[in-house]
Structure 1
Amino acid sequence: MTKADTLAVEAGVSSLDLMENAGATVVREIRKRWVRRSVVILAGPGNNGGDGFVVARLLHQIGWPVRLGLLGDKTSLRGDSKVNAERWVGKIEEFSVALLEGAGLVVDALFGAGLSRPLEGIVLDILNAMEARKLPCVAVDVPTGIDGNTGEVLGGVLNADLTVTFFRKKPGHLILPGRQHCGEVEVTDIGIPSGVLKKISPVIAENLPQLWVDKLPVPAPDFHKYSRGHVVIVGGSEMTGAARLAARAARRAGAGILSIVSPANAKHIYEISDAGNLVLELPAKKGLSGILDNKRRNAVLVGPGNGVTELTRKNAISALTSKNAVVLDADALTAFEGDPETLFGSIKGRCVLTPHQGEFDRLFKINGDKLSRCREAAKLANSVIILKGFDTIIAEPNGRVVINTNAPADLATAGA
């Protein structure tokens, strides 16, 4: 957000106006959801606290009872925060649990997205007291206790009913555990010019339809089945459901032809599962490479229900060394546990790896938060990584990341 603010100022928008607008949007969102009541503002020592002073002043002007506590000393404030503290006509009270007496709503303007160290002392005491009293809370930008860049909780966390953020969401709003502490997240316009988004070229985004809907291929009137792509899925002999579900998904996504490559002893299961699928027996000598020699077959999935075997490794390597687009999932990833270099060294073209957390940890010995680990893994493997979970992270080798926030707990079932 700092870079966006800087570019907005360079474009002619004053930083003081940005802070005023930020506070005004918080007040607007409060008034949409709550009737007049006693409000306590928890103001921090930086720009987030400056936003809090604006909120206090604007609520006071429309007749709401407001109390404000400042973490730190007023004389230590700088820049726009200092200006707005001087504009506040009310009392600045001692920053203590006593502030919460009689509160009907708390505005958290302590740290925002800038928190970088674990919470402690009086801040934790106040957060615990708020939780015990179940006071409704509005967070300015990011709830206190959440690292805005990673979604990690630092020492403790404030559970907000509403988070009002500016310009665009931060990773902390999207990634667990941070996401579950934000409540409703409202993104507001504070006057940052639209051209700023193009200049900063953000590499992290929420996975929403507007991100990709205009990039979906539209079949031309003269398209035929081969124009729409021929997908090959390698099925297993015992756990056949995974490959069959993948086949159904590929056809629903628009594949022109779907072939399932099956061991001989399971071929009949795949043949009766869906009349629209072609079922091929895995060649005994050439293996999967014998199937992929057909140039009309241009995308291949290896792994679901395949078993952690040497054959699965060979099939994965055959897929990767072909000129096809490749997706490796499940057993095709675990088969390289202890030897990820062979996997990474075999990747020659477009490749997507789709591990859950356990499979990811078997392949990538990378430290750090979930977001940074996924980005580093994509770079290391030169592949798109889809790290599946409550907050699936999709990372490209170039550092671009998309985060899913639309996976309900209903999907936490086998085969979902």
Structure 2
Amino acid sequence: MSHELLSPSEMAEADRLAIAAGPFDGIGLMRNAGAAVAAVVLKRYPNATRVHVLCGPGNNGGDGYVVARLLRESAVDVSVWASGSPKGDAALAASECPVEARPLSDFVAEMGSVVVDAVYGAGLSKPLSGDAAKVIDIAAELNLPVVAVDLPSGVSGESGNVLGKAFRARTTVTFARKKPGHLLLPGRELCGEIVLADIGISDSVVAQLEPRTFENIPALWLGRFPVPAVDAHKYKRGHVGVFSGGPSATGAARLSALAAARSGAGAVTLLSPANAIRVNAAHLTSIMLRKLDTVADVDEFVGSRRPSAFVLGPGFGIGEKTREFALAVLNGARGQDGGIDGLVLDADGVTSFRDATDALFEAASRPSAPALVMTPHDGEFVRLFSDIAEDKDLSKLAKARAAAERANATLVYKGADTVIAAPDGRAAINDNGAPWLATAGSGDVLSGIIAALLAQGMPAFEAACAAVWIHAEAGSRFGPGLIAEDLPLALVPVLRELVESRGKAAE
């Protein structure tokens, strides 16, 4: 399954490169696209009383004229409604269509019919209004199923935002690769089922674009997913240290620690203040426990036990101590021979730096610094990156990228459409989440998974992407009734399948 995502401008360049390489010219690609959409309509709506094909003036509309021609050839009752005069290859497709087009402004429909939306697609850059907006209202009022070509008209292929108004599709047929707007909200909810069709744009053409945006699926990171060697012992599998809060705030850290252990870390130590030792000891078995109250204690732990990764923030508290501990970890040595691979900064750890971002970002920028992974939700993102968050011209994807570059960190910008961004410009959009994960403590589990994968040698971007997918997959499979305490054990079948898949891929 292809995991690269192409922006509308990248898709236009892919079209150009594919046409130059052959064997299909522009109208050839258009005919292939129309055929893919027509096949979906015939398969899903064999009993439709009529299909209304809405055609814009550009290439999206050209696809629509091909759809109308093929449906008419299949003895389907078809009406064509046009917005503007077709141009370029679309004009040729219109000349081949035997169905006379009527103005979109005259659109009427009946119950039982189907709408094919080929008005604008992914390239729309201004708010949708006028005749197209009226048709959206009519289709919604009659509850007509809509099959969208490329993207529902009104949805930005770049950001997933609704520009003015947008169709709500039952099915969206897109070509070669998905766009960010297919996965970012609210676009994702308006696309319905997404069908990715091969129209003759080869993988080698896409590779020439060197895509930097991806759908977060296992194909993106499975090759880096850790599988223990036969001779592995617990410290070869990585050692994670999780900082605990005080006596009344220990649960979040224990969730992170248990998730790290379940996710393959060979050893996990809960780093507890002295006044919370007894509380934590009463709840731990395989998780080790160590008293830690000062930066000197952090340094001593690093020197004596050589942890690979840390989690700081869940239930820890906001303030100077949090900042000092984070900077102590980031000022440690990175790399082999006992170096620290990474720090996962979550919750209170993120918020503690709202007035001290320069210190955090400078520490993360040291050439020998451990990798920094931050996991903010919307509110925490604003605290660290207020100017980026308030820029209405930026999509969630663009905001995550800008923040990751500024912080020199891998950023997990959480939400129903979580975006993972690396400081080098790579980014991935996650879409396998579920509402059951919106429960207290869920994010603490995610932090533990990331730390475990970092500790086992997975690079920061791949570790964050894998952890987000695994966390979401476990929550989706568990379903209703999920609480955070369920998640560590729910990870097991997901992890087993990934290990098996990694083994098969290596054969």
Normalization by structure 2: what TM-score? Answer: 0.79
Deviation track 1:345-364 (CA, whole Å, cap 9, x = no partner) reads 12133111111110001000
Q: Which aligned pairs between 1:8-157 and structure 2 lie closer than 5 A?
A: 8-12=18-22, 13-37=24-48, 38-73=50-85, 77-96=86-105, 98-101=107-110, 104-157=113-166
Paired with 1:197 and 1:217, the residues of 2 have a C-alpha distance of: 28
Aligned with 1:124: secondary structure?
helix
| Correspondence list, 1:14-413, <5 A | 14-37=25-48, 38-73=50-85, 77-96=86-105, 98-101=107-110, 104-237=113-246, 238-284=248-294, 286-294=296-304, 296-323=306-333, 324=340, 325-347=342-364, 348=366, 349=369, 350-364=371-385, 365-366=387-388, 367=391, 368-413=394-439
Moved more, 27-36 or 224-233: 27-36
| Structure 1 residue 136: Cα displacement | 0.7
Amino acid at match of 1:249: A
Shift in alpha-carbon separation, 1:81–1:374, aligned structure 2, 3 A: same
What's the CA shift for 1:103? 6.2
Quote the Cα distance in structure 1 between the aligned partners of 2:71 and 2:47: 9
Q: Distance in 2 between matches of 1:401 and 1:137?
A: 31
**Deviation (angstroms), 1:201:** 2.0
Asked if 1 retains the 8 angstrom alpha-carbon contact of 2:124 and 2:153, the reply is: yes
| Higher relative contact order (Cα pairs below 8 Å, separated by 6+ residues) | 2
Code of the aligned partner of 2:225:
L
CA distance in 1, matches of 2:216, 2:360: 28
- Greater shift after overlay, 382-391 or 2-11? 2-11
The alignment partner of 1:273 has SS state of coil
Question: Do the aligned partners of 2:244 and 2:314 also contact (CA within 8 Å) in 1?
Answer: yes
Query: Cα offset for 1:252?
Result: 1.3
> Number of matched residues?
413
Task: Give the SS at the match of 2:304.
Answer: coil
Q: Deviations for 1:176-220, whole angstroms, at most 9, x for unmatched residues?
A: 011111111111111112212322222111111222222212222
User: In structure 2, how many angstroms separate the alpha carbons of the residues matched to 1:340 and 1:285?
Assistant: 20
Identity between Structure 1 and Structure 2 (%): 44
Q: Is the 8 A contact 1:39 1:103 kept in 2?
A: no
* Residue 97 of structure 1, CA deviation: 5.1
Secondary structure class of the residue paired with 1:68: strand
Alpha-carbon offset, residue 138 of structure 1: 0.2
Cα pair distance change 1:306/1:277, threshold 3 Å: same
Q: Write the distance in 1 (CA, Å) between the matches of 2:65 and 2:295.
A: 74
Consecutive unaligned residues in structure 2, runs of 5 or more: 1-10, 334-339, 443-507
Q: Quick one: distance in 2 between partners of 1:29 and 1:241?
A: 50
Greater share of helix: 2
Q: Is the 8 A contact 1:69 1:99 kept in 2?
A: no
For 1:29 and 1:294, locate their aligned partners in 2 and report how far apart those are by CA, in whole Å: 62
Displacement after TM superposition at 1:295 (Å): 6.1
User: Does structure 2 retain, via aligned residues, the 8 Å contact 1:40–1:103?
Assistant: no
Are residues 27 and 388 of structure 1, via their aligned partners in 2, closer, same or farther at CA, if it must alter by over 3 Å?
A: same
Asked whether the equivalents of residues 48 and 140 of structure 1 are also in contact (C-alpha less than 8 Å), the reply is yes
Task: Tell me: CA distance 1:31–1:102, structure 2 relative to 1, closer, same or farther (3 Å).
Answer: same
What residue ranges of structure 1 are gaps of 5+ in the alignment? none
* Separation of aligned partners in 2, 1:251 and 1:104: 54
TM-score scaled by length of structure 1: 0.96
Q: 1:401 is matched by which residue type in structure 2? A: A
AA at the equivalent of 2:432: N
Label 1:100 to 1:271 Cα distance change in 2 as closer, same or farther (>3 A).
same
Deviation string 1:111-169 (CA, Å, 9 cap, x unpaired) is: 11001001111111111111111111000000011100111111111100000011111
Aligned mates of 1:69, 1:82 — CA distance in 2: 14
SS for the counterpart of 1:93 is strand
User: What is the DSSP-based 3-state SS (H/G/I as helix, E as strand, rest coil) of the residue aligned with 1:191?
Assistant: coil
RMSD: 1.4
* Secondary structure of residue in 2 paired with 1:258: strand
Give the match's secondary structure for 2:279. helix
SS at match of 2:315: coil
Contact in 1 for aligned 2:313/2:347 (Cα 8 Å): yes
Is the contact between residue 283 and residue 290 of structure 1 (CA under 8 Å) also seen in structure 2? no
